[in-house]
Amino acid sequence: MAPTLRPIDAADHAFLRSVYATTRAEEIAMAGWDAGTADAFVGMQFDAQHSFYRKRYPAGQFDVVLDGATPLGRLYVSREAQRIHVIDIALLPAYRNRGTGGALLAGLMREAEQRGAAVTIHVELNNPAMSLYERLGFREISSAGFHRLMEWRATTLTHKEHTA
32 dihedral zone (left: phi>0; alpha: psi -120 to 50; beta): left
Give every CB contact of residue 28 below 8 A, 6+ residues apart in sequence: 21, 38, 41, 42
- The whole-number pLDDT of residue 162 equals 42
- Give the residue ranges of the chain where pLDDT is below 50: 158-164
CATH code of the domain in which 98 resides: 3.40.630.30
pLDDT at residue 153 in the model: 94
How many domains is the chain built from? 1
Torsion angle, CA of 26/46/20/133, rounded to 10 degrees? -90
Per-residue pLDDT tens for 31-78?
Answer: 889 989 999 999 999 999 999 999 999 999 999 999 999 999 999 999
- Residue 1's pLDDT is 62
Q: Give 86's strand partners.
A: 77, 121
Which neighbouring-strand residues pair with 85?
78, 120
Helical ranges in the chain per DSSP H:
13-31, 35-56, 100-115, 130-135, 159-163
Residue-number span of the structural domain to which 47 is assigned: 4-163
Exposed, middle or buried: residue 66 (CB in 10 Å: 0-12, 13-18, 19+)?
Answer: middle
